[in-house]
Amino acid sequence: MSRRIADRSLLLAFLFTAGFVVCSAGCTAALSTAMYLMGANEIDAEYKGFRSKKIAVVCRPVATVAFRETGAAHELAREVNRLLAERVAKIEMVDQQKVAAWIDERYDGDYSFTEAGEAFGADMVLGIELQEFNLYMGQTLYQGTANARLVVHDMNEGGRVVFDRELPQITWPPNGGIETSDRQESQFRRQFIRVVSDHVGRYFYRHDPTAYFALDAAAMK
């Protein structure tokens, strides 16, 4: 009886050792995936002051962008609004349709971010100064480029600036253009708006800093 138990113990030990060796050789990808799903690759937001606050997102384009890319500022603000609502705990977002209507009433662009904050009773305003937004690289290729500055005003402190960042230029796809014959402009525009919005949003919530490297491959699908 003891001999049978010993033989069984040896067999279990052998199977465990063999499994460990196989897993060591081929489970790296699975381990990496598990770590990703558990958020192990994520880093903290650079600015964490939006939690439990009422936030207004206001995107103000420079004149050349407003003239050439009508609607880009509203689309960007709407997508950033959505990301913040999903990713920041206990946040309250001002209705983006109301913000867009308020801005449209001031068609000459003569307004400040703090005026918007006061109009909607926001605790804070995320102001996005859209300095460049372009979808094309030449006449037959899509490649989006954008420049923006982010300014956060704390309305509970008289509109004091509590966060100010100039974003590095965003270029997507980063490694080349997409033939205009392969994709409708409206589809590429939506994709690029999401890319720019992600660059903005990641300053304010936990995120995977390596996620951007997958966007080039996604652009080609």
CATH number of domain containing 158: 3.40.50.10610
CB 94 within 8 A of CB 80: no
Q: Considering the domain boundaries, does residue 46 fall inside one?
A: no
For residue range 74-131, what is the model confidence (pLDDT) as tens digits?
Answer: 999 999 999 999 999 999 999 999 999 999 998 877 899 999 999 999 999 999 999 9
Q: Considering the domain boundaries, does residue 130 fall inside one?
A: yes
61 and 24: one domain?
no
For residue range 129-167, what is the model confidence (pLDDT) as tens digits?
Answer: 999 999 999 899 999 999 999 999 999 999 999 999 999
* Radius of gyration over every alpha carbon of the chain, rounded to an integer in angstroms: 24
31 and 121: one domain?
no
The total domain count for the chain is: 2
Domain range for 26 is 2-37
Confidence class of residue 214 from pLDDT cuts 50, 70 and 90? low
30 and 84: one domain?
no
Instruction: Collapse the DSSP code of 39 into the 3-class scheme (helix H, G, I; strand E, B; otherwise coil) and give the result.
Output: coil
